[in-house]
Copies of this chain bind each other. A is one copy, B any other.
Amino acid sequence: MSAVSHLNYGLWRHPDDQSWRYNELDHWTGLARTLEDGGFDSLFIADALGLLDTHGGSADASLRTGTQSPLADPLLLVSAMAAATRHLGIGVTVSTTYEHPYLLARKFTTLDQLSNGRIGWNIVTSQLESAARNLGLDAQLPHDERYDRADEFLDVVYKLWEGSWEDDAVRRDRAQGIYTDPRKVHPIRHQGRWYSVPDAHLSEPSPQRTPVLFQAGGSPRGQRFAARHAELVFVAGANAAGIRRSVDAIRALAVEAGRAPEAIRFVAPLAVVTGADDRAAADKLADYRRHYDVEGAIVHYSASTGIDFSTHDLDAPLRYQETNSNRSLLTHLTNDPTRDRPWTLREALAPAHGLGRHKTLVGGPSTVADALEAWLRETGTDGINLAAVVNPGSFADFAEFVVPELRRRGLVAERPATPATLRERLFGQARLRADHPGHRHGVAA
């Protein structure tokens, strides 16, 4: 996130952490270069559109602990990072609920052009009541209706990205004075329940046309949405078994929807604390844990679930409650078939050997590489979304200690001589696969 603390609650208090530089360009261009040089495929920035104010009924704890506040706009960071790199993919969260498809389409086309095809879009529908309240809705739309609308939103942008401008529409013919051949630019004539977009896309096609589509929906409706649209899915879960269940469920739904099993790449969040050897890594973890702030974790978890956990006993079992927010986060913890009782808040957010919600691997290069191989195998995922503990130190450490070991094992590819688009890195082709629903809106179709 373009904030001082996303999931690394309280770690801004660590002397090595530089997250407070989130509003400096050098912080982001430096991070992008660290990741590109370190062999990462892509950087990803999450976002939210409201303050986290479920905890205690106000934003006070969020502000005080620096949890996802203050918050800047991540999309505006992209061109600087694209200019500082040549290979790195850049994925950004933008909500379908508070943006119009005609303008969102132009934004991603612009960024995909500027970056030579290295852009991903993490599709979210927004879950915060605080966003709805300040953005013109009395209350947010019901959960499933947000996804119904997002389905139509995607149809609109597919038409604009894939079906409006033919590949050879731009002629740039100086002699004849024809910049674009109007016969090769098609109005999309979209008229749906939520959107009316009669005209052609404002922008000529970018290298990928449609940006690589990321999605993280964990609810049943969110999983159906991911199975239909996503090319890269962020899967969360209480543990490896829970993540595997999500992967299997979404892949099965994708196949039902006519997509190949390999049409989606799955990625789970993971923190890695590493160093020259296991001892150094263990010392680092102990140091980090002293700066971890469980209150920040509870602020975030309250906002994500829509339930105020500020007075919840840390050691009482969690119970499922119906809300209009991200129910799957709570479902994972109240209904985990691998356990005989629900999780407690402490077990979920302040684990004895980790740092917050997600799995933490700790150790020197080969220990982490071994654990990572096992993790990918157990979860059935294709890669990881490496979460910062300290920023940018966690990324620099991973690049320095772990990536060389992963390269030796053939798990991280050498960088190609010529830059590729993000979709080429993930799927070997710049444009949508033929089994993707956006493909049928293509000009050729």
A residues with a Cβ closer than 8 A to B are: 2, 4-5, 10, 12-13, 15, 20, 23-25, 29, 49-51, 53, 58-60, 63-66, 69-73, 75-84, 98, 100, 102-103, 106-107, 109-111, 113-115, 130, 133-136, 165, 170, 172, 174, 177-182, 185, 195-200, 202-204, 206, 293
What residues on B are CB-neighbors of A106 within 8 Å?
71-73
Evaluate contact between B2 and A110: CB separation under 8 angstroms.
yes
Evaluate contact between A72 and B102: CB separation under 8 angstroms.
no
What residues on B are CB-neighbors of A63 within 8 Å?
179-182, 185
What residues on B are CB-neighbors of A20 within 8 Å?
172
Which listed residue (B50, B114, B185, B203) contacts A77, Cβ 8 A?
B114
Distance in angstroms between the alpha carbons of A126 and B293 in the assembled complex: 47
What residues on B are CB-neighbors of A179 within 8 Å?
4-5, 12, 63-66, 69
Which listed residue (B75, B80, B115, B170) contacts A114, Cβ 8 A?
B80
Specify how many copies of this chain sit in the oligomer: 2
| 30 pairs from A and B in contact (CB 8 Å cutoff) | A13-B174, A13-B177, A23-B110, A23-B113, A23-B204, A24-B114, A25-B115, A29-B83, A50-B202, A59-B200, A63-B181, A63-B182, A64-B179, A64-B181, A70-B170, A70-B202, A70-B204, A71-B203, A72-B110, A73-B106, A76-B111, A76-B114, A80-B80, A80-B82, A130-B199, A133-B198, A133-B199, A134-B199, A136-B195, A177-B293
Distance in angstroms between the alpha carbons of A111 and B74 in the assembled complex: 10
Evaluate contact between B203 and A79: CB separation under 8 angstroms.
no
User: What 6 A-B pairs come out closest when comparing CB atoms?
Assistant: A66-B179, A79-B80, A23-B113, A60-B182, A70-B204, A72-B110
Give chain B nearest CB distance to A377 CB in angstroms. 39
Q: Which of A10, A58, A70, A100 has the most CB of B within 10 A?
A: A70
Question: Contacts A29-B83, A110-B2, A182-B60; is A177 near B76 (CB within 8 Å)?
Answer: no
- Nearest B residue to A130 via CB reads B199
Distance in angstroms between the alpha carbons of A2 and B12 in the assembled complex: 38
Distance in angstroms between the alpha carbons of A396 and B256 in the assembled complex: 59
Question: Contacts A100-B135, A113-B23, A199-B130; is A180 near B69 (CB within 8 Å)?
Answer: yes
Distance in angstroms between the alpha carbons of A312 and B181 in the assembled complex: 24
Evaluate contact between A64 and B178: CB separation under 8 angstroms.
yes
Give chain B nearest CB distance to A254 CB in angstroms. 31
Evaluate contact between B72 and A75: CB separation under 8 angstroms.
no
What residues on B are CB-neighbors of A13 within 8 Å?
174, 177
Evaluate contact between B102 and A134: CB separation under 8 angstroms.
yes
Distance in angstroms between the alpha carbons of A185 and B59 in the assembled complex: 10
What residues on B are CB-neighbors of A178 within 8 Å?
64
